[in-house]
Structure 1
Amino acid sequence: MKLTIIGGGGFRVPQIFEALAAEGDHARVTELCLYDSAPERLEIIRTVLAQLAEITAKPPRVTLARTLDDAVKAADFIFSAMRIGGAEGRIIDERVALNLGVLGQETIGPGGLAYAIRTLPHARHLAERVAALAPDAWVINFTNPAGMVTEAMRAILGDRVVGICDTPIGLMRRAVHAVGSTPELVDFDYVGLNHLGWLRRISVDGHDRLPLLLKSDEALGQIEEARLLGFDWIRAMGAIPNEYLYYYYFEREATERIRSSIETRGEFLRRQQSSFYSDAHQHADSALALWNKTKHDRESSYMAESRAEEDRSNRQDADVDGGGYQTVALNLMTSLVQGRSTRMILNVANRGNVPELPDEAVIEVPCTVDANGIRPQNVAKVEGEMLGLMQQVKSVEQLTIAASLHRDPALAWRAIAAHPLVDSVSVARRLLDTYRAEIPGVAAAFD
């Protein structure tokens, strides 16, 4: 079985390799094909994988593709893990917004929209090549902003593309542990969009344990999302939000913390990963050790701007244990190939699940996956401020997709202005104009 990774020189690719090469009865990949627009990074990652192959149980054969078409041909699964514009683009996404007094974050707010505008043309091109060369392949999308990218690719590939994110899975893992159960024994209700969702029920033996969980400081203390957003707010909502909702609920605090930090998250990752790639190039024999150290620092500092100063370097081990998106992807592949039924939270078409949203809108809900494909679970009715936020953000996403498809800057301006974290039409115009001036990929999207 051939698995292709588009963005194969990315830092997190060795995590996928580790999952594929581990013992177990998961789906076996015989060829891992890597494609990347940065060949020097691709070579470094191949060196890391070669060193991992020496210490893992069942490593797949690694190949490098010279062209996108070569990468896609004969693939059974394709992981889309692109970062159009690289770290430099992310930094501009963040800084342009911050300089105008608006939240600067990779996927939330105008930075996420700028990222989408320059990424969507490439995502559609990938989908077109898959449709032409590997129509039976499954495309698993990691590329951010994952909801918008998946929705745009679905217009070409339909149900053969699905988006995944490890943040809701991490939330579920922590909540299951907090109620003293195991994943196979719980039933749950989760609904939202990518990087915007809520756990609203977690049942064991038919009894919803969420109300008791919310009453217990000890239990909430085991859940990173509750520590981030505050016990009182979690209890007031009666639900546990995805951690990215911190940026919506605490916009002022988040913006101030990011602005007062020495560097943005993008600047931190550029410094950290540039150092890794440079050091690994010069000291190839130590590439794996350098990667492991960099990975630990990266995971420990995740969403540091959302934590109090004294907690920023003290993320609990349980918050990063249990596997990330590579584990979600491997479980998804295994269920599709082997038919073993699995339930996981995925980005899929709405199709009436949330009646107030368009049928084609991509939402994030629990799904059952087996050899017959992916079937979304019907979720409880979404109401009140949760529904309002979902509708507003989804309208922004669909305006952005339309702006990209039609190369229409007026639609892009409307999308930015409609975002709940942008409070002025004139600021929205300045954001768009500055992104077009400073990021070539954004400018090219409207040429």
Structure 2
Amino acid sequence: MNIVVIGGGSTYTPELINGLITRSATLHVRTVWLVDPDEERLHIVGSFVQRMVRHAGAGFQVELTTERRRALEGADYVITQFRVGGQQARHNDELLGRRHHLVGQETTGVGGFAKALRTIPIVLDVARDMRANAPQAILLNFTNPAGIVTEAVARHGGVPVIGLCNNAINAQRGIARMCDVPPEQVFIEQVGLNHLNWIRRVTINGEDATNAVIAAYVERLRHDDDPLRFPPRLIHILRAIPSSYLRYFYLTPQIIARQNSGEPTRAEVVMEVERRLLARYADPTLREMPPELMERGGAYYSTAAAALIESLYTDDNAIHVVNTRNNGAIPNLADDVVVEMPCAVGKCGATPIPVAPLEPAFHGLTCQVKAYELLTVQAAVEGNEEAAMLALLANPLGPDAAHVEAVWEDIKRTNRGLLPTFER
């Protein structure tokens, strides 16, 4: 098979390549194309992963290019993992939130909104090129905000798309460690949207272990002195384990207080990690992933991505938690919206596994955030400023009506040159 990675200069790329190396005997990879407009980063990262592949004797080629259409010819799978504007844009998103006393984060709140507006036009350009140059290919989106970007492609891209996030595999492995069992024995029913979901049911080796896992999770919370931990009583009330990103919704004042305490933005932390990683990647003697990569975040991305490709390729119908259209699997959500939930994955794509309706406490927040996501997609596709402000108002972490216009104007100023649909 031929795989194209859009954003191949990412510091995540070596982890992805490592996952493909691990499964190379099954996947029969012929070529991996790394595409990136930043030639310097592409050369550093690309040269390192070429050494990784040779050292492992994996038998496939890694090609580097800045020309997306050239790489897409004959592609079977296209992975998007890019960041429009780089970490500086992420830093600006976080500061934007701080300026307006709102959550500043790359996938939720006003920061996630700005990132979506920057990203959606580019990912739809990728989809257009896929239709022209690789009509048989499937798009696997890892670019954040993954749920909104996948929603945009599902509605406007005209190509098969599956959204991927590493949170589910991290949760599965965390539960496995907590229960001292192999990860492959753990199944989680994680339902909702990307970065807005709950684990409602856990089975271990086929046996229901939900109550035991929730009890163990609550016990860990009782011994956690992090002021941003979920209150143990909340878990009892929810009867589910919330995604860590739900802290932004359940503990909003505490999150904003920490942001405004003067601590560095996450972007500043990542910039320093990436500086050190790129220096390591540039070492011509380095042939295996350095331990510093774990500081970057995205743990088990390679495992999740390579396993997903394996299921698509081998038609094994294994279960993966991914982002795809609901198609009735969650009965009290619309069929055509993108959700994040367990799916059986084979050559025909991802088929959601039907579950019980969302409980009112989950359903209300999910519907509100999905309304925000749909308005965001509309705004990004049409360059519609009214839809943009409505999206901000619909977002539970967005500004109120008295401040929405000022926040929107600030977003446009801060992202000048990065919002093509609003600058025609």
Query: What is the TM-score of this pair, normalised by structure 1?
Result: 0.87
Matched, 1:64 2:64: yes
Aligned counterpart, 1:308: none
Q: Say if 1:178 and 1:223, in contact at 8 Å, map to a contact too.
A: no
Gap change, CA 1:15 and 1:236, over 3 Å in 2: same
Alignment of 1:118-133 (within 5 A): 118-133=118-133
State the SS of the aligned residue for 2:403.
helix
The alpha carbon displacement at 1:107 in A equals 0.4
Relative to structure 2, which stretch is displaced further, 235-244 or 105-114?
235-244
Paired amino acid for 1:233: L
For residues 253-288 of structure 1, the C-alpha deviation after alignment (integer angstroms, 9 at most, x for no partner) is 1122122243100121123324543x359x643666
Gap change, CA 1:96 and 1:218, over 3 Å in 2: closer
Alignment of 1:39-438 (within 5 A): 39-58=39-58, 60-157=60-157, 160-204=160-204, 207-216=207-216, 220=220, 228-277=229-278, 279=279, 284-285=283-284, 292-299=290-297, 324-438=300-414
Paired amino acid for 1:258: Q
Aligned counterpart, 2:422: 446
For residues 110-138 of structure 1, the C-alpha deviation after alignment (integer angstroms, 9 at most, x for no partner) is 10000001111111111111112111111
Percent identity between matched residues is 30
State the SS of the aligned residue for 1:260.
coil
How many residues end up aligned between the 2 structures?
421
Gap change, CA 1:3 and 1:237, over 3 Å in 2: same
State the SS of the aligned residue for 1:131.
helix
The alpha carbon displacement at 1:229 in A equals 2.2
Gap change, CA 1:351 and 1:223, over 3 Å in 2: farther
The alpha carbon displacement at 1:70 in A equals 0.6
Paired amino acid for 2:284: D
Relative to structure 2, which stretch is displaced further, 199-208 or 259-268?
199-208
For residues 276-318 of structure 1, the C-alpha deviation after alignment (integer angstroms, 9 at most, x for no partner) is 43x359x6436668x725413334xx8xxxxxxxxxxxxxxxx
State the SS of the aligned residue for 2:26.
coil
Distance 2:217 2:170 in 1: 19
Relative to structure 2, which stretch is displaced further, 337-346 or 181-190?
181-190
For residues 308-358 of structure 1, the C-alpha deviation after alignment (integer angstroms, 9 at most, x for no partner) is xxxxxxxxxxxx5xxx12211111111111122311100000122234433
State the SS of the aligned residue for 1:425.
coil
Paired amino acid for 1:266: A
The alpha carbon displacement at 1:31 in A equals 0.6
Gap change, CA 1:442 and 1:408, over 3 Å in 2: farther
Q: Say if 1:178 and 1:219, in contact at 8 Å, map to a contact too.
A: no
State the SS of the aligned residue for 1:263.
coil
Distance 1:248 1:145 in 2: 16
Paired amino acid for 2:16: I
Relative to structure 2, which stretch is displaced further, 227-236 or 434-443?
227-236
Paired amino acid for 1:339: D
Distance 1:95 1:446 in 2: 22
Q: Say if 1:338 and 1:371, in contact at 8 Å, map to a contact too.
A: yes
Aligned counterpart, 1:38: 38
Gap change, CA 1:244 and 1:98, over 3 Å in 2: same
The alpha carbon displacement at 1:220 in A equals 4.2
Distance 1:77 1:205 in 2: 32
Q: Which runs of 5+ in 1 are unaligned?
A: 303-319
The alpha carbon displacement at 1:51 in A equals 3.1
Q: How large is the RMSD of aligned CA atoms in angstroms?
A: 2.6
